[in-house]
Structure 1
Amino acid sequence: MKTSLLAGLALGLLMAGATAGSAQAQIKIGLAAPLTGNSAAFGAQLKNGTVQAVEDINKAGGIKGQKLELSIGDDASDPKQGVSVANKFASEGVKMVVGDFNSGVSIPSSEAYLDAGIIQVTPGSTALKFTERGNWNTFRTCGRDDQQGAVAGDYLAAQFKGKKVAFVHDKTPYGKGLVDETLKAFRAKGGKEILIEGINPGEKDYSALVSKLKQANTDAIYFGGYYTEAGLVIRQMRDQGLKAPLVGGDGVVDKELVAIAGPSAEGTLTTFPPDARKNPNAKAAIAAFKAKNIEPEGYTLYAYAAVQVLAKAIEATGSTDGKKLADYLHQGKPTTTVIGDIAYDKKGDITRPDYVMYVWKKNAAGTVDYTGNELAQ
């Protein structure tokens, strides 16, 4: 009887250990993105990319036999909501996070992640401040506003030399930061702006701004902000007979720009990294997206790459501890991803930043798009 009891106890302990082992075989990863609000199209890109990367890694056996378990939080492009999502993830035991998208959300949420020991990789926050504060936990798979602004400023100075260029931003950390950096490069090349204006995101009527731009005989407008407001400004400029092109940054790069601006979107210029869909490393991932009728545009593959970066760090360190993962990434060892090899400096910025200028024009199907329309620099 005693032997049977001991055998049963041993079996029970073994089963308990197996259950605990199974529970440990899940690595909790979070996605924080604007699934609602005025950046929801970008939130969809981040969700598509992250979900597909997690699926593909798990299908291939996970990381050292452990599967990724994804939690998704909607920050609604709101800083307070972003911090709430961060606190929720921390309470759930999430070890690492892809997100947020908006710099104005990523910056405050990163402080909450820092307190919780969570590493954060943003696919789309370009504000300098995100990685300039000395926090160990902040990384990105995209470039920065100063790199993007340099390309835009140089382009404006060369292409609109002696012309009247206006600068408009949406007062967000991203939009204003991008205008500031573009202005630096523009002025350094001899450019002189005719006016700088701030708008309130979420408004529908920008006729007062358009009137001011018309009165100043503006030849080009540089816009720091997102596709929602950019589309409205473009449409209202054309409605009032102002034909000056709008030049914007990566926050404008989504097909929703055309849905809002209509045919008037043609001729818009935007800075964005070289099209990741052309990268040979992305071939299998793109096939998986296509099978779901998803076009991996914009930041979709940048979110996918963020998961790959985190997976490689776990594989290399054998740990899910945020600080250990960050220490590994800060070493600058390259990770092969769908957007190319990524290596980090001590701040958490990628060491191969690159932006090009695109022009939006009609493709063979008659749809206005930026795809394949990279301008020679």
Structure 2
Amino acid sequence: MKPGYPLLLAVAMNVWVWPARADITVAVIGPMSGQHQAMGTQLAKGAEMAVEVINSAGGLLGQKVRVVVKDDQCDPKIAAGVAEELGKLKVALADGHLCSGASIAASDIYRRHGIIQITPASTATEFTDRGLPNVFRTCGRDDMQGFVVAEHILRTFRTRKVGILHDDTAFSRGLAKQTQRFLNRGGMQEAFMLEFPEKQRDFSGALDRIRREKVQVLFFPSYAEQAAAILKQAKQKAVQFRLVAGDPLMNEAFGNAAGPLAEGVQITFPPDPSDDRRNKALTAKYMERGYKPTAFTFYSYAAVQIWAQAVTRAGGTEMNKVAAALRQERFDSVLGKVGFDTKGDISAPGFVVYTFDQGRFEYLR
């Protein structure tokens, strides 16, 4: 057969044969194993549903979107390795990570590989303050969350002695410092601010300090296992205080680990999109599959949803063009009508206060 004959035949038959187009790949990255697995599952469920909805509507730029799920165990070193792997896979979007330290460690690697990164959960101010062109977040920042925590404590516990106990992760240390800053600005001096290693589960020393200092309110921006441990040990030692915590406790893992001791714990977290009537059908779709979309689920969904709209407006997945669209446009999403500032921080409402009430998280009225 002569060269060019198949093309001539195709023309004669009025049939054009184009090369197959590859799928667009997005990745969702978080702790899919280990103590933070419940929150990693929320990220995965959000991204997977968003991709399903995009594909059911015809895909993106005429192409099918494929999602890969990667486990970073909330470890910055593992996160960096995952980022390099995803760079080789030429993914267009990194929906993640959960932990701030992991997001920060991976972000510059994503930039080198031309990958947009949108975290649904990392609140450390450093993540967007470094001026990288490819980083965005659908959640709030530690300075926003720290302000809400401090205002809540100043308003509700003005006459109580307050202590701050945080772990050594980027998230926990950052939120503790921001909260301390706003408490001090509001005229309250904490009784102490102590740091412990993230893997520590023995809080005897801290509890002795709480008893000795007569602390009545403890701000504890750490994770579910640690919070459950200090509550159980406090009960054993008959040390009483009100626990106020940050967004990592907004998951079933905390309630399961702490049991009845979770009752009355107060937590800051962004507004729950499942309460928005515009998300009623999507929430029902999740529930029909036996999954309740809590905490970070919608924030991960929004990361993919908003990115896809930016890709459409940019006319492709090239990082700089998509980043420009993200910063210049506003987008309809499960979080409402949102946009991003020049740093990549979202315009959506920041944080509200919840309380653990009879096994459920309820807005604190």
TM-score, normalised to structure 2's length?
0.95
Partner of 2:153: 156
* Separation in structure 2 between the aligned mates of residue 67 and residue 119 of structure 1, nearest angstrom: 18
| C-alpha displacement of 1:280 | 2.4
**Which one of 6, 9, 28 corresponds to residue 8 of structure 1?**
6
Letter in structure 2 aligned against 1:347: K
Paired residues for 1:96-135 under 5 Å? 96-135=93-132
Q: Distance in 2 between matches of 1:85 and 1:19?
A: 34
Aligned-partner residue type, residue 375 of structure 1? L
SS of the aligned residue for 1:37 comes to coil
1:268 alignment partner, one of 260, 265, 274: 265
Equivalent pairs, count: 362
Answer yes or no: is the 8 Å Cα contact 1:97–1:118 preserved in 2. Answer: yes
Q: Which amino acid aligns with 1:340?
A: G
Contact 1:147 1:353 in 2 (8 A): no
Q: Is 2:302 aligned against 1:297?
A: no
Corresponding residue for residue 374 of structure 1: 363
User: Among residues 330, 334, 359, which one is paired with 1:334 in the alignment?
Assistant: 330
The answer to whether the Cα contact below 8 Å between 1:282 and 1:339 also exists between their aligned partners in 2 is no
TM alignment of 1:165-244, pairs within 5 A: 165-244=162-241
Contact 2:93–2:117 (CA<8 Å) still a contact in 1? yes
TM-score by length of 1: 0.92
Q: Distance in 1 between matches of 2:9 and 2:77?
A: 49
Q: The residue matched to 2:220 in structure 1 has which SS? A: strand
Deviations 1:248-291 (A, max 9, x none): 11111111111111100001000111111011232222122112
SS in 2 for 1:185: helix
Q: CA deviation at 1:318?
A: 1.1
How far 1:37 sits from its partner (Å)? Answer: 2.3
Contact 1:143/1:354 (8 A) holds in 2: yes
Question: For residues 288 and 75 of structure 1, what CA distance do their matches in structure 2 show?
Answer: 28
Structure 1: gaps of 5 or more residues: 363-367
Q: 2:141 aligns with which of 137, 141, 144?
A: 144
Q: CA deviation at 1:185?
A: 1.1
In 2, Cα distance between equivalents of 1:301 and 1:11: 51
Which residue number in structure 1 is paired with residue 19 of structure 2? 20
Give the 3 Å change call, closer, same or farther, for CA 54–242 of structure 1 in structure 2: same
The CA distance in 2 between the partners of 1:90 and 1:334, in whole Å, is 28
* Distance across 1 between alignment mates of 2:9 and 2:192: 77
CA distance in 2: counterparts of 1:345 and 1:21, whole angstroms: 37
Provide the C-alpha distance between the structure 1 equivalents of 2:204 and 2:9, rounded to a whole number of angstroms.
76
Contact 2:353–2:363 (Cα < 8 Å) also in 1: yes
2:342 aligned partner, one-letter code? K
Aligned counterparts of 1:12 and 1:237: Cα–Cα separation in 2: 78
Corresponding residue SS for 2:24:
strand
Distance 1:137 1:185 in 2: 30
Tell whether the 8 Å contact from 2:61 to 2:316 is kept in structure 1 after alignment. no
Displacement of 1:184: 1.1
Aligned amino acid, residue 351 of structure 2: Y
CA distance in 2, matches of 1:40, 1:309: 25
In the TM superposition, residue 157 of structure 1 has moved relative to its aligned partner by: 1.5
Shift of 1:65: 2.0
- CA–CA separation in structure 2 for the residues paired with 1:199 and 1:96: 34
Q: Is the 8 A contact 2:250 2:295 kept in 1?
A: yes
Query: Is 1:356 aligned with 2:352?
Result: yes
Distance 1:59 1:113 in 2: 28
For structure 2, the 5+ residue unaligned runs are none
Shift, 1:20, TM fit: 2.9
State the secondary structure of the residue aligned to 2:121: coil
Cα distance in structure 2, aligned partners of 1:286 and 1:49: 11
1:10 deviates by 4.7
Report what 2:255 is aligned to: 258
Amino acid at match of 1:213: I
- Over the aligned positions, Cα root-mean-square deviation in angstroms equals 1.8
DSSP-derived class of the 1:125 partner? coil
State the shift of 1:12 in Å. Answer: 8.9
Q: Which amino acid aligns with 1:156?
A: I
Matched residue SS, 1:21: coil
Question: Secondary structure of the residue that 1:139 maps to in structure 2?
Answer: strand
Write the distance in 2 (CA, Å) between the matches of 1:278 and 1:65. Answer: 33
Using the alignment, how far apart are the partners of 2:62 and 2:284 within structure 1? 25
Contact 1:168 1:222 in 2 (8 A): yes
> Cα deviation per residue 1:106-136 (whole Å; 9 max; x = unaligned)?
0010010011111100000000000000100
Answer whether contact 1:79 1:104 (CA < 8 A) is retained. yes
User: What do the CA deviations read for 1:183-228 (whole angstroms, capped 9, x no partner)?
Assistant: 1111111111001111111223222222221222110000112222
**Equivalent pairs: percent with the same residue?**
35
CA distance in 1, matches of 2:4, 2:36: 61
Superposed CA offset, 1:232-261 (max 9, x none) = 112221222122111011111111111111
